[in-house]
Amino acid sequence: MAQANVGSRRAAESLIEQGRVRVNGEVVTLGDKADPEVDVIEVDGERLKIDVETHLYIAINKPKHVLTTNSAQRGDDRRTIRELVPVEGHLFAIGRLDADSDGLVVLTNDGDLAHRLTHPRFQHTKTYRVVVDGLPTQATLDKWQQGVHLEEGKAAPSIVTITKGGTKETVLRVVMTEGKKRQIRRVAAQLGPPVRKLTRIQLGMLQLGDMRPGEWRELTPREVEALKTPASELKQLRQAKAKPVRRSAPQNGDRSEKPHSDKPSRPARKSSGKSSNKPSGARPGTAQQSRPARRNAERSERGKR
């Protein structure tokens, strides 16, 4: 449907959910398949004219201050990446970059592949060369790798390693599977030190290579396979994402809590101040006399006699 210029992928999904799309006369649902060369596809009763085209894959080194979009918003006079690639037809961008960053972007008319390589659910890897001011501590790198909280939620784990360190600036290699808006720059600004330069050097296993800024070329079939293949760090990233959060061990002197019981506790007895033990042979209502007291009483009784 995107090839027929009906709209974006999300717009096409909305049309399907509304029951406005039919294939061979039957209303379709999300997930149904159709072959435009064989099947009759209709939207609102009109048959789509779909030109089956050969898939095109183009790699470009996006320069700084160039927008990763097909057309800029009104009033924005910055160049777009499509102006640098004079190819007819709609092209999807695999791996958007903010205007202040440069590096590898792939343009393609293969909408399904673009979706699989950009949606966070599929966890496809992206690798960056990041230059920051100063030398970050290991504690900072650990927090970065674990994922920090941003306004829209916690960032997924990433792999951050130092490739060249110094007191003035440090070069980091960052591998990640998601791409929130300006994520690397925002994380670095939160943890410190800030980003000085950011370049994407790899998508999956496809490398930027020695292409100069603004240069582009079509990918070979082998390079397309490299694009589809995630980097070797993906296994480590998935393990970090699945790892449960460890609770800190109790400190010395902490008392462990007793297990909760549903049985009501018995009320404590009030103390009367008197012993409740009655000796055998004692008469009810009388207190037992001590042994010296009994002797004195016996002597007094003999004296009366």
pLDDT at 229: 96
| CA pair distance 60, 78, nearest whole angstrom | 17
All CATH 3.10.290.10 domain ranges of the chain, comma separated, are 9-47
**Annotation: CATH topology of 9-47:** 3.10.290
> Exactly one of 76, 98, 100, 112 is catalytic; which is it?
98
Please tell me the predicted confidence (pLDDT) of residue 222: 96
98 labelled catalytic: yes
Cβ atoms 25, 40 nearer than 8 A? yes
Residues 276-287 pLDDT 10s: 444 444 444 444
- Exposed e or buried b per residue across 94-113, where buried means at least 16 C-beta atoms within 10 angstroms of its C-beta: bbbbbbebbbbbbbbbbbeb
According to the per-residue pLDDT averaged within each range, which of 3-7, 216-220, 277-281 is highest?
Answer: 216-220
Res 171 pLDDT > 80: yes
pLDDT at res. 208: 97
Backbone φ and ψ for 275, nearest 5 degrees, come out as -70, 135
Integer Cα distance of 172 and 198 in angstroms:
10
Tell whether omega for the bond before 193 is within 30 degrees of 0, i.e. cis: yes
Model pLDDT, residue 31: 85
Q: 251: pLDDT confidence band, cut at 50, 70 and 90?
A: very low
User: Hey, is 214 helix, strand or coil?
Assistant: coil
How is 39-77 classified by DSSP, letter by letter? S-EEETTEE---------EEEEEEPTT-BSSSSPPTT--
C-alpha count within 13 angstroms, C-beta hemisphere, residue 252: 0
Please report, for residues 260, 277, 293, the alpha-carbon distance to residue 289 in angstroms, rounded to integers and kept in the order given: 48, 14, 6
The verdict on domain 57-241 having CATH code 3.30.2350.10 is yes
Identify which of 225, 213, 152 has the alpha carbon closest to the alpha carbon of residue 186.
152
Closest to 123 (Cα-Cα) out of 164, 193, 179: 179
CA distance 96 to 39: 34
- pLDDT tens, position by position, 177-200: 988 889 999 999 999 899 999 999
Write down the residue that tokens 């207190």 correspond to: 287
Tokens of 37: 């060369």
Q: Which of 191, 125, 123, 181 is nearest to 152 (CA)?
A: 181
On the 0-12 / 13-18 / 19+ scale of CB atoms within 10 A, 57 is buried
List C-alpha distances in Å: 260 to 2, 251, 257, 263, 265.
60, 22, 9, 9, 11
Tell me the pLDDT tens digit for each residue of 92-148.
999 889 999 999 999 999 988 999 999 888 889 999 999 999 999 999 999 999 999
Three-class secondary structure of residue 124 per DSSP: coil
Q: Tokens standing for 197?
A: 């330069």
Range of lowest pLDDT (141-145, 184-188, 255-259, 263-267): 255-259
Kindly report, as residue ranges, where domains of CATH 3.30.2350.10 are found in the chain. Answer: 57-241
Q: Mutual orientation of helices 138-146 and 183-191 as an angle, nearest 10°? A: 140
The length of the chain is 305
Q: Among 45-59, 68-82, 149-163, 218-232, which is the least confidently predicted range?
A: 45-59
| pLDDT at site 303 | 56
Question: What average pLDDT does the chain have?
Answer: 82
